[in-house]
Amino acid sequence: MSEQMILPAVPDQIPHGDMPGDKIQIGDDHIRKAQTIYPLLREELARLDGQKAVVAVCGGSGVGKSEIASVLAYYLNHDGIGAYVMSGDNYPRRIPRDNDIERERVYRQGGLHGLVDHDLLTPEITAILRRLWEEEKDADLATAQALPWLAVYQQSGRRALAGYLGTPNETNFDEVTDILARFHQGEAAIYLKRMGRETTELWYDKVDFSKTQVLIVEWTHGNSDFIEGVDIPILLNSTPAETLAHRRARNRDGKTDSAFTTMVLEIEQKKLEAQAHKARIILSKQGQLLSYADYRLLMAKEEGGIA
């Protein structure tokens, strides 16, 4: 199928995911990657023998999930297979600003607990920590070289943060699972959540799925063990360094260079790696299809030879 498939040109404007305010800029690279994935996706869908299917396009922040998912949906709709793109970023328990605050709180609380557990927390260290918090340098590894106790704080904070990121504490996975179940059961219309960047920007839209055969969920956590109902996970791979470069290019937030953001990306990467064995299709940053064995080898090289 992949050798014979001729795909249509992609117009400048096509429907995309349902995240309010998300800026989708589809480039040639996104189209090339979607063209690589699409024949394999059609093969995976054929194995489901006409059943409604949920496809998850997952990967690190800024890797192109929204854009590639949109192009895949365009190809499916063009071929008469109704498709809709749902953004998983609508389902955190907090708006982005408040979730960023909660991530920092979890990290710092975990770090303090680590210092207490090691009997290291003194009034002097507390004062230094407050200054580091104000300067947003408490996650900086270089700072820990001059302050040995800070390494204990950072290790403990990182463990606490890993227990929050991509877990039900951060995201309502049950709501997503319920939506996928309703879709599989053939419900003609389903209410989907919309979340903006302010507390007042929260609502639900009733979406018509009567002619939709494929629901594409574009989301970092689309391959998570906390979700049930994903039929075809697709992993768009990127290293933390590549992900950070994407975020800088897209200017996703004002702290893309911060040590804390780097830590978040590294933790998310580890979780993506742990889930990668479930992916039906894996695509490298350069647009190459990877087997799971190839993926593991690539990531081991990125980590300096550590598998």
Q: What is the mean pLDDT of residues 173-202?
A: 96
- Predicted confidence at residue 4, as pLDDT, reads 61
178 and 294 assigned to the same domain: yes
CA-closest candidate to residue 167, choices 218, 113, 87, 221: 221
Q: Give the orientation angle of helix 123-135 with respect to helix 148-162, to 10 degrees.
A: 60
Q: What is the mean pLDDT of residues 47-60?
A: 96
**Position 192 pLDDT exceeds 80:** yes
**Position 264 pLDDT exceeds 60:** yes
15: Cα within 13 Å, side-chain hemisphere = 15
Q: How confident is the model at residue 1 (pLDDT cuts 50, 70, 90)?
A: very low
**Considering the domain boundaries, does residue 22 fall inside one?**
no
**Considering the domain boundaries, does residue 10 fall inside one?**
no
267 and 135 assigned to the same domain: no
Express each pLDDT in 200-216 by its tens digit.
999 999 999 999 999 99
Q: What CATH number has the domain bearing residue 259? A: 3.40.50.300
Beta-carbon neighbour count of residue 267 at 10 Å?
Answer: 20
Per the structure block, which two tokens stand in for 178?
Answer: 């319920």
Single out the residue in 162, 185, 216 at which a domain terminates: 162
Express each pLDDT in 73-85 by its tens digit.
999 999 999 999 9
**Considering the domain boundaries, does residue 4 fall inside one?**
no
- Predicted confidence at residue 304, as pLDDT, reads 66
**Considering the domain boundaries, does residue 150 fall inside one?**
yes
CA dihedral 126, 131, 134, 137 (to 10 degrees): -100
**Considering the domain boundaries, does residue 14 fall inside one?**
no
- Predicted confidence at residue 277, as pLDDT, reads 97
E strand map for 148-188 = none
- Predicted confidence at residue 202, as pLDDT, reads 94
68 and 176 assigned to the same domain: yes
**Position 306 pLDDT exceeds 50:** no
pTM for the structure as a whole: 0.91
CA-closest candidate to residue 125, choices 99, 147, 158, 101: 147
In angstroms, the CA 292 to CA 298 distance is 10
237 and 153 assigned to the same domain: no
118 or 256: whose pLDDT is higher?
118
Express each pLDDT in 156-166 by its tens digit.
999 999 999 99
- Predicted confidence at residue 274, as pLDDT, reads 96
